[in-house]
Amino acid sequence: MAGQLYSQFYVLDLDRTLLDTIKATELMRGVIALHDAELAARLEQRFEDYSASGESFSMRDFIAENVNEDEILQIEAKFKEVAAEWDLLNPGAEEFLAYLRSREDVGFGILTYGSALGQTMKIRAVAVLSDVPFLITLETYKGAQIAAWREDDGIYSLPAELGGGRTKKIVFVDDKPFSFKGLPIDCKGYLVKSVYDAGIEKLPHNVVQVDTLTHVLTAEKQLNVG
């Protein structure tokens, strides 16, 4: 609730951390192909163009540019329906979220980079994520963004999008080494192994590299015994 003081707050990345983004992307491409083959062909061309340039690409934004509102709603509804039949979470994600929900003294939320439309659609399509507070950012250095929440007394005031409240300690989980740039020394970070490896050798001392969220869960349980 607003004004609550947590013993610690977990800031969680979405893509490639909680979410199996490759699987979710393939699922959405399939949904679009079923809806409109010609639209799907144009999507594939745009996807290739963006991939070649190394830029991020939001299929939800592409849809909004090419179809009317009724079709958008149809595609989103179908994606959510099909997503319910798939496991779109990365290993350990569901168990980790269940553990956080069981802890009355902690809070958690999603801090994700990207398109507001695209990220919102993905979060709402996955049942266990649909009630998690989230903040969509265009700040690549999330560590620096988290640092801006720190007050003079050392307590962190959480953004309203993440539920508000305050916390003495933040645990930040992400898959990109550069996301941790600027993370305060009194915060803890977990880098989950993914396609991003450039910069791993320069990780801050307060960031630990792990293979999956299962390892994060194990570590946090051990630290919070009793």
pLDDT digits (tens, 9 = 90+) for 192-225: 998 887 767 788 899 999 999 999 999 999 987 6
Q: Which residues of the chain have pLDDT under 70?
A: 1-2, 50-56, 199, 225-226
8 Å CB contact between 167 and 9: yes
What pLDDT was estimated at residue 88? 95
What pLDDT was estimated at residue 69? 87
Of 208, 176, 171, 203, whose CA–CA distance to 187 is shortest?
A: 171
8 Å CB contact between 35 and 75: yes
Any idea which fold 5-20+87-223 has? Rossmann fold (3.40.50)
What pLDDT was estimated at residue 1? 40
Q: What is the dihedral of CA 189, 92, 130, 125, to 10 degrees?
A: 120
Phi, psi angles (nearest 5°) of residue 16: 70, 0
What is the Cα–Cα distance from 94 to 98, expressed in whole angstroms? 6
- Retrieve residue 186's tokens: 């009194």
What pLDDT was estimated at residue 163? 95
What pLDDT was estimated at residue 54? 55
What is the Cα–Cα distance from 91 to 84, expressed in whole angstroms? 17
What pLDDT was estimated at residue 191? 96
Tokens 């970070």, residue located: 189
CB atoms closer than 10 angstroms to residue 9? 26
- The backbone region for 165, taken as left when phi is positive above 0, alpha when psi lies in -120 to 50, beta otherwise, is left
197 CB-near residues (< 8 Å, 6+ apart): 177
